Amino acid sequence: MFEILKSFETKYGYLKKKGLIIEGLAMVDVKKKKHVIKVTRPLVFDNRLIPKRFEGLDVKTSIKISSEMPKEFNVDRTKPDWHKSYYMWAPERFMKFVERCENELRAQLECPQMTKSELLDALCFGNFQEHSQKSQQLIKEGKLPAYKAN
């Protein structure tokens, strides 16, 4: 299994220059002994560059949360049960962020020809429409709170 991680680091290690942190292997299901490759990325990162799976293992990607998050993602995480009131990664937050910072995002991602749709895909887990549909379904099921502005 460590060979797979080494191979992943060899193939995707260049993304470290863009802020990717390869955390290593993690077990996500003890009973099934399911492992994943765990990585962390900054918010402004082309997530499409990271595979969903690599040599039989899922790649679990999380976004590094910092004190310098854009205003669209500023959620008071000090309140108890904040996640019951706000969904930090709501599709609407990504849309507002791209709308407000479109040109800066293109420059930061070093891709001046990106469309708004491509920016949303890049920032939003690789596929904005898929994320949006999944979020709406989870809201209907009561597993996520409906979007509300900060």
pLDDT digits (tens, 9 = 90+) for 75-114: 777 777 766 778 889 999 999 999 999 999 999 999 999 9
Q: Is the pTM of this model over 0.85?
A: yes
End-to-end CA distance of the chain: 42
CB 144 within 8 A of CB 87: yes
CB 61 within 8 A of CB 50: yes
- Using 50 as the pLDDT threshold, list the residues of the chain that sit under it: none
Residue 150's pLDDT is what?
65
Residue 45, both tokens: 């990162």
- Chain CA centroid to CA 77, Å: 18
Domain positions in the chain are: 2-63, 71-140
